[in-house]
């Protein structure tokens, strides 16, 4: 159950060592899928130069060492090795994969503790579309790491602290707790914020109250803290509605918002100052991590205590790193956050390394999330220029999905269930199928399409297989005939599926869910060719062939469903 490309790489490396000496045992054989064979190895060309021999001669020498290889190897052109695997080899690997509950996906040993900082909406405003991608991509990374046996600690770094809370709490008092809670729970956080803001800007008395409230909050006044909790609890209840709808694995225990670090900030600054990592500059306490300069070539400061004594976003992140390394025992920390914060994280990581809080044994990585654009190529906004509400957008995706299946004869409950699954798949898959750091255009029409690299297309592929099994009258789990890959479409599908395990490992290591999407999309495309060329439960198909094909269908279904689950994309049984 190993990726043929990996098996081949090892085999060719052994052949290189035998033919040319052990110093060549770790040369990259440069094996790529090929249109002339299953794979092509180009190592002979690069090696020939170093050995001062002709590439063809080198290729022949490698071939001679691969005589026991399960397949055929031809030397072609100037010295390419064209490698075709024996059908029996692919078949037995595919059978092994079908019998393996993990589908050839390995586990990471020793397992790592991976802290994943994702979603992280700001409570002072409503959760908007910008947080959709950080939530969806982060959740997929969490699922992937867990699947490989790592210990995942989710950290939802909510924006739940800071000066805006003075006016938010005063506004809450003005309109009454009950009304405020109702509004926040209903996802009207933006309106709530705007109402508070406009009073703050126009009403001197309110402004004074808001300012006083900030200091009572900072000083830990119990009454004020209670009000803050009222505000936050209602806000989090709304966030949870969004998470539930999306099928995101975040729970309340994963909340580790900015407020959590508040008690640590003074010590953070004191320790940085005492160790000489931070210094006073123009009244502010700053770290100057080496290698960061501004446009004037002056060292760029990371401000950790402003001249008015206030702490900032960077202070909190430094406290958070320390906590994650020291208390959570992270081996790796992933920050799934917008591209625009790249410099912030580079500087925070550099400062933490300087302070000795982020040892070289711990990886810290900013998984940069690209901006979501509107069809006009600008930041995604409503026509009136406001940021689009996440809930409205998700609801619209579900509505469109409902239209897709309107004419099926399903009852209302089933229709609702399918529409929900299809709508969420559309939005989530669109987010995951482009590389996380590139911008992409939010286009619901394209997302809900059942053709192309979309969530609904992937769901459709699985539903098709399930319908074959319904016709056959057996469960996919019962298909256990040997896999035989007689037809070209069967062979291509079988060969492709063998790459699943290695791909999942690579996708996880590199934080690149879009490559899993690409793999699944190719699976679905190969399935559709198979479906056209190789009837399974049709009149005239002999029972043996039928069972063999059902086994291949079962394997394909499991790869698709496992892959989609790792992406967090729901899979309805029918569509």
Please report, as ranges, the residues that interact with ligand ARG according to CB under 6 A. Answer: 117, 120, 122, 157, 159, 317, 320, 335, 337
Is residue 450 within 8 A of residue 456, CB to CB? The reply is: yes
Nearer to ligand ARG, 117 or 512 (CB): 117
Least Cα distance to 168 among 202, 192, 145 occurs for 192
Is residue 366 within 8 A of residue 341, CB to CB? The reply is: yes
Q: Which helix (H) or strand (E) holds 347?
A: helix 342-355
Please, what is the minimum distance in Å from the beta carbon of residue 297 to ligand ARG?
28
Strand order in the sheet with 31-33: 31-33, 39-41, 80-85, 71-76
Please, what is the minimum distance in Å from the beta carbon of residue 341 to ligand ARG?
7
Nearer to ligand ARG, 13 or 341 (CB): 341
Please, what is the minimum distance in Å from the beta carbon of residue 337 to ligand ARG?
4
**Peptide bond before residue 88 is cis, with ω within 30 degrees of 0:** no
Please, what is the minimum distance in Å from the beta carbon of residue 425 to ligand ARG?
25
Is residue 7 within 8 A of residue 29, CB to CB? The reply is: no
Strand partners, 188: none
Nearer to ligand ARG, 317 or 547 (CB): 317
Please, what is the minimum distance in Å from the beta carbon of residue 376 to ligand ARG?
23
Cα 193 → chain centroid: 31
- For the chain, the residue count is 575
Q: What tokens appear for 387 in the block?
A: 């940021």
Nearer to ligand ARG, 31 or 321 (CB): 321
Nearer to ligand ARG, 302 or 472 (CB): 302
Nearer to ligand ARG, 91 or 160 (CB): 160
Give the Cα separation of 51 and 66 in Å (integer): 20
Give the Cα separation of 283 and 309 in Å (integer): 9
Write out the E strands in 349-465: 363-369, 372-373, 440-441
Nearer to ligand ARG, 157 or 491 (CB): 157
CA distances from 542 to 160, 471, 528, 535 (A): 65, 15, 21, 10
Q: What angle do CA 82, 86, 89 make, to 5 degrees?
A: 125
Least Cα distance to 448 among 463, 469, 474, 428 occurs for 428
Cα 522 → chain centroid: 19
Please, what is the minimum distance in Å from the beta carbon of residue 524 to ligand ARG?
34
Nearer to ligand ARG, 159 or 247 (CB): 159
Please, what is the minimum distance in Å from the beta carbon of residue 326 to ligand ARG?
16
Please, what is the minimum distance in Å from the beta carbon of residue 121 to ligand ARG?
6
Nearer to ligand ARG, 63 or 157 (CB): 157
Please, what is the minimum distance in Å from the beta carbon of residue 317 to ligand ARG?
5
Radius of gyration of the chain (CA): 28
Phi, psi of 213 (to 5 degrees): -65, -35
Least Cα distance to 358 among 345, 368, 369, 367 occurs for 345
Q: What angle do CA 562, 568, 573 make, to 5 degrees?
A: 60
Listing DSSP states for 197-233 in one string gives HHHHHH-HHHHHHHHHHHHHHHTT-HHHHHHHHHHHH
Q: What tokens appear for 573 in the block?
A: 């049984």
Strand partners, 31: 41
Please, what is the minimum distance in Å from the beta carbon of residue 255 to ligand ARG?
12
Please, what is the minimum distance in Å from the beta carbon of residue 342 to ligand ARG?
12
Please, what is the minimum distance in Å from the beta carbon of residue 243 to ligand ARG?
16
Q: What tokens appear for 88 in the block?
A: 């029996």
Measured distance between the N- and C-terminal CA atoms of the chain, rounded to whole angstroms: 31
Please, what is the minimum distance in Å from the beta carbon of residue 335 to ligand ARG?
6
Please, what is the minimum distance in Å from the beta carbon of residue 334 to ligand ARG?
11
Residue 137 neighbours by CB distance under 10 Å: 29
Nearer to ligand ARG, 122 or 459 (CB): 122
Give the Cα separation of 469 and 41 in Å (integer): 39
Give the Cα separation of 181 and 553 in Å (integer): 51
Block residue for tokens 């297309």: 457
Nearer to ligand ARG, 159 or 299 (CB): 159
Nearer to ligand ARG, 260 or 320 (CB): 320
Nearer to ligand ARG, 156 or 548 (CB): 156
Nearer to ligand ARG, 323 or 500 (CB): 323
Give the Cα separation of 80 and 55 in Å (integer): 8
């Amino acid at each position: 159950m190993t990726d043929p490309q990996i098996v081949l790489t090892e085999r060719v490396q052994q052949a290189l060592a035998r033919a040319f000496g052990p110093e060549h045992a770790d040369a990259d054989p440069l094996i790529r899928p090929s249109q002339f064979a299953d794979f092509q190895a180009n190592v002979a060309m690069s090696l020939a130069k170093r050995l001062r021999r002709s590439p063809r001669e080198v290729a022949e020498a490698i071939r001679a060492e691969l005589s026991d290889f399960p397949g055929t190897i031809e030397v072609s052109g100037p010295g390419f090795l064209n490698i075709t695997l024996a059908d029996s080899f692919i078949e037995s690997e595919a059978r092994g994969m079908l019998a393996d509950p993990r589908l050839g996906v390995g586990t990471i040993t020793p397992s790592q503790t991976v802290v994943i900082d994702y979603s992280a909406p700001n409570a002072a405003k409503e959760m908007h579309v910008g947080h959709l991608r950080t939530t969806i991509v982060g959740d997929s990374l969490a699922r992937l790491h867990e699947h490989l046996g790592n210990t995942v600690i989710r950290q939802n770094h909510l924006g739940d602290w800071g000066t805006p809370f003075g006016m938010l709490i005063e506004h809450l008092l003005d309109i009454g707790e009950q009304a405020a809670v109702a509004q926040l729970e209903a996802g009207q956080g933006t309106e709530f914020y705007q109402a508070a803001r406009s009073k703050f800007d126009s009403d001197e008395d309110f402004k004074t109250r808001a300012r006083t409230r900030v200091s009572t909050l900072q000083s830990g006044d119990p009454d004020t803290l209670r009000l803050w909790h009222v505000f936050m609890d209602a806000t989090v209840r709304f966030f949870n509605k969004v998470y539930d709808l999306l099928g995101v694995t975040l729970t309340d225990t994963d909340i580790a918002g900015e407020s959590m670090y508040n008690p640590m900030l003074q010590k953070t600054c004191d320790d940085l100052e005492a160790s000489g990592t931070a210094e006073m500059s123009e009244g502010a306490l700053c770290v100057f991590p080496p290698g960061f300069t501004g446009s004037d070539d002056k060292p760029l400061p990371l401000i950790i205590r402003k001249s008015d004594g206030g702490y900032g976003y960077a202070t909190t992140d430094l406290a958070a790193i320390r906590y994650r390394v020291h208390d959570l025992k992270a081996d790796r920390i992933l920050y799934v956050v917008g591209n625009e914060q790249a410099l912030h994280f580079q500087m925070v990581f550099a400062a933490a390394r300087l302070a000795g809080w982020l040892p070289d044994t711990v990886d810290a990585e900013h998984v940069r999330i690209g901006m979501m654009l509107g069809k006009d190529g600008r930041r995604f906004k409503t026509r009136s220029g406001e940021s689009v509400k996440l809930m409205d957008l998700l609801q619209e995706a579900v509505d469109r999905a409902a239209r897709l299946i309107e004419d099926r004869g399903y009852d209302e409950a089933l229709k609702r269930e399918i529409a929900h699954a299809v709508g969420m798949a559309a939005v989530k898959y669109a987010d995951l199928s482009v590389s996380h750091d590139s911008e992409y255009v939010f286009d619901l029409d394209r997302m809900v399409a059942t053709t192309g690299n979309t969530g609904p297309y992937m769901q459709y592929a699985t539903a098709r297989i399930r319908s074959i099994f319904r016709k056959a009258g057996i469960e996919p789990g019962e298909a256990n005939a040997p896999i035989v890959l007689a037809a070209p479409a069967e062979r291509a599908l079988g060969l492709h599926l063998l790459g699943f395990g290695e791909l999942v490992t690579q996708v996880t290591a590199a934080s690149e869910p879009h490559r899993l999407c690409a793999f699944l999309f190719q699976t679905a495309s190969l399935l559709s060719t198979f479906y056209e060329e190789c009837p399974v439960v049709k009149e005239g198909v002999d029972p043996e062939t039928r069972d063999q094909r059902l086994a291949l269908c079962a394997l394909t279904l499991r790869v698709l469903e496992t892959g989609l689950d790792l992406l967090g994309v729901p899979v309805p049984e029918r569509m």
